[in-house]
Amino acid sequence: MRVPLTNLIAPSFYEIHHALKEERFTHYWLKGGRGSTKSSFVAIEIILGMMKDPNANAVALRKVKENLRESVYEQLLWAIDVLGVSHLWHDSVSPMGLTYLPTGQKIIFRGADKPKKVKSSKLRRGYIKYVLYEEVDEFEPGDIRTINQTFLRGGPKFVVFYCFNPPKSQRNWVNAEVTEQRADRLVHHSTYETVPREWLGEQFFIEAMELKKKNLDAYKHEYLGEVTGTGGEVFLNLTFREITDDEIKVFDRIKRGVDFGYAKDPLHYAVMHYDKTRQRLFIFHELHKLRMSNRSAVMEIKKENTGNRPVTGDSAEPRTINEFRELGLNIVPAKKGPDSVEHGVKFLEDLEEIIIDPVRCPNTKREFYGYELERDANGNFKDGYPDKDNHSIDAVRYALEDDMRNARLKVGNKAKLGVR
């Protein structure tokens, strides 16, 4: 029986289907809301791919082993059925597995509650070509790295699928991960809106519209797969894109700041351009390193700061400031003052846009994107801004200290004059 793929794959996945055929990428991050059919698409692609490549095997993973049978195992069985190839596959529950009978190729299933113990099975032929992480947000980043190191070897080509509904919080590692740029990665977002209505049934759409009327944010998160936030996100004005050399050449208000490292904290040096007129900040260079000696830090900073322009550093470390000066760096201490942290972060929040180059400044991007207010035991947001994972934010605050002070004085003067 020949089944047209257009009857099985939603239009939003056509481009990815062609990318898989042409082997354009290794890592496919598929995110979206309910009813987007991303898991169905992946199951079909794995079954078709294995039947076309006699050396291809697959492993399907969930964080908790007990969740495998009712989710990814059933999804793959569904794909086998709708493709009309059930007579070519053998399925077993104990141990859980699927075998392609003509060649003996296998799909194995693994729970990853202990990632270091996840091992490949002995294969009759070939290698693990396909790796599927279902509900990848349940995993930790270290889990993914360990498991990929186990399976991505011994073959010429690999395809790794990461399927998930985005968590609400932008701080969640998986939401941050899909903003990273890699040449071997494709990130795709899908929703039920591109799926033929008859595939989901009329009741699905009724439920979606009811939720949309009652709770728009919940609808956006659950059905559209949007990162709606927890309400505690600090920086909602972020843009991640390449900042070109041509742009940097014409920047005329370049600022530099450094947050010194301590025993367990990295030194962070930041370089940026502040467009005061348009209220835009461009961050295009960073040095972010643990256990860096002062001498090494000054040498690295001077490589970027060839003109030895002023750098503003954390005044809480006068001894370090003095040593940096003795090593030849033009460094001045930040003046800080009462409420300087709160005022500085608020100043950055209120900018029209903070543009961060994610390739040049990956740690800056990570910290700004993940910076959220903390909650107390009752789930309420705590007062003040958290003092962790904010090294780049501190360095940027120091660099822009004069601009922040001028802005504060201007607001204060207007208040005295009764200007609104």
- Three-state SS at 324: helix
Average pLDDT value over all residues in the chain: 92
pLDDT (mean) for 235-259: 95
Q: Are residues 249 and 309 in the same domain?
A: yes
**The domain boundary residue, chosen from 155, 189, 222:** 222
CATH number for 248: 3.30.420.280
Q: Are residues 215 and 272 in the same domain?
A: no
pLDDT of residue 180: 83
Residue 227 resides in a domain: no
* Encoded amino acid at 115, one letter: P
pLDDT of residue 55: 96
Q: 42, 30 in Cβ contact below 8 A?
A: yes
User: Over 80: is that where the pLDDT of 415 sits?
Assistant: no
Highest mean pLDDT: which range of 203-207, 259-263, 370-374: 203-207
1-25 residue pLDDT tens: 567 888 999 999 999 999 999 999 9
pLDDT of residue 419: 46
Question: What is the tally of helices (H) and strands (E) in the chain?
Answer: 15, 15
Q: Are residues 300 and 403 in the same domain?
A: yes
Range of the domain at 74: 5-222
User: Over 80: is that where the pLDDT of 208 sits?
Assistant: yes
Range from 181-195, 366-380, 387-401 carrying the lowest mean pLDDT: 366-380
Residue 229 resides in a domain: no
How far, in Å, CA of 357 to CA of 180, rounded?
A: 11
Residue 209 resides in a domain: yes
- 135: alpha, beta or left? (left if phi > 0; alpha if psi -120 to 50): left
pLDDT of residue 316: 86
How far, in Å, CA of 225 to CA of 208, rounded?
A: 13
**The domain boundary residue, chosen from 222, 250, 274:** 222
pLDDT of residue 416: 44
Looking only at the bridges linking them, the beta strands covering 331-333 and 127-134 are unpaired
CATH number for 17: 3.40.50.300
Q: Are residues 278 and 166 in the same domain?
A: no
Q: Are residues 29 and 59 in the same domain?
A: yes
Residue 232 resides in a domain: no
pLDDT of residue 231: 83
User: Over 80: is that where the pLDDT of 411 sits?
Assistant: no
pLDDT of residue 410: 57
Q: Are residues 275 and 214 in the same domain?
A: no
- Please, how many CA atoms are within 13 Å of residue 305, restricted to the half-sphere of its CB? 26
The whole-model pTM stands at: 0.76
40-51 residue pLDDT tens: 999 999 999 999
Number of domains in the chain: 2
Residue 247 resides in a domain: yes
User: Over 80: is that where the pLDDT of 147 sits?
Assistant: yes
pLDDT of residue 229: 82
pLDDT of residue 269: 98
Residue 395 resides in a domain: yes
Q: Are residues 72 and 169 in the same domain?
A: yes
pLDDT of residue 1: 59
pLDDT of residue 409: 56
**Around Cβ 131, how many Cβ atoms within 10 Å?**
24
Q: Are residues 308 and 173 in the same domain?
A: no
Q: Are residues 260 and 199 in the same domain?
A: no
Residue 290 resides in a domain: yes
Q: Are residues 214 and 272 in the same domain?
A: no
How far, in Å, CA of 420 to CA of 414, rounded?
A: 7
Q: Are residues 345 and 411 in the same domain?
A: yes
Residue 231 resides in a domain: no
Please list the active-site residues: 135
Q: Are residues 93 and 208 in the same domain?
A: yes
**Around Cβ 346, how many Cβ atoms within 10 Å?**
15
